[in-house]
Amino acid sequence: MSNKTIGLSDDLHQYLLDVSVREPEVLRRLRAETMRHPMGEMQIAPEQGQFMQVLVRMLGARRTLEVGTFTGYSALAVALALPDDGQVVACDVNEAYTAIARDYWEAAGVADRIDLRIAPALETLDALLDDGQAGTFDFAFVDADKANYDGYYERALALLRPGGLVALDNMLRGGRVADPSVDDAATQAIRALNEKLRADDRIHLSLVPIADGLTLALKK
């Protein structure tokens, strides 16, 4: 039997949160407001936000991308870890969700670091590529509709510099990727992308079992 990742009971997960999460007040308030929202489950976990802050700092990131902003928690977590001249190009299609995001970005004093683009993300990413911005970003976070994940990944990879990192959320789909009885389109898309990434020699790869599975693809 191979070594395997520890299962997190509710008690152990709470312990992990208690001893490691240093969530700033503004993020805590945003998370609480979002959890009252009918779609609140789409928000990333606080330990994941903090993990992404460490990644952004390790990368020395200044220019970052986000695909799927929702109410703004992940963009805010990243923006707070950037230098003063850092930037998040945040892609979403929903004005109502991102209106909540803007309020908290203002409250946190980092609204000037976040460039929200309300349009289909494939269009926004293609526009950045057409504008000659390939190879200029340090970090990208993909957390949107699963059917388009491969398209987001390919564009994000092109926009990254060598040594830049794409992080893809929900790559374990609550365990459904490993359940043969599940064959919905979104799960099929994630399975196909996981298989593709394993064989993709343009990247260094790690699927980290934090929250719902966060794949890290480090561009060679």
- For Ca ion, the closer of residues 69 and 170 by Cβ is 170
Of 50 and 170, which has the nearer Cβ to Ca ion?
Answer: 170
In this chain, which stretch among 54-62, 114-122, 167-175, 176-184 interacts with Ca ion, using CB under 5 A? 167-175
The residue (of 145 and 154) whose beta carbon lies closer to Ca ion is: 145
Tokens of 10: 């509710």
CB 70, min distance to Ca ion, A: 8
* The binder of Ca ion chosen from 82, 169, 214, 219 (CB under 5 A): 169
Under the binding rule (CB under 5 A), the answer on residue 138 touching Ca ion is no
Among 34, 98, 124, 170, binds Ca ion (CB under 5 A): 170
Partners of 203 in the β-ladder: 219
Residue 66 contacts Ca ion per CB under 5 A: no
| Planar angle of CA 112, 50, 55, nearest 5 degrees | 80
- For Ca ion, the closer of residues 48 and 124 by Cβ is 48
Residues sharing a CB contact under 8 Å with residue 61, sequence separation 6 or more, in sequence order: 81, 82, 86, 138, 139
**Can you tell me which of 71, 114, 143, 171 binds Ca ion, judged by CB under 5 A?**
143
Q: Is 189 exposed, middle or buried (0-12, 13-18, 19+ CB in 10 A)?
A: middle
Given the complex with Ca ion, which of 72 and 109 has the nearer CB atom? 72
How many residues bind Ca ion (CB under 5 A)? The answer is: 3
Give the whole-angstrom CA distance, residue 170 versus residue 167.
Answer: 10
**Site residues (CB under 5 A) for Ca ion?**
143, 169-170
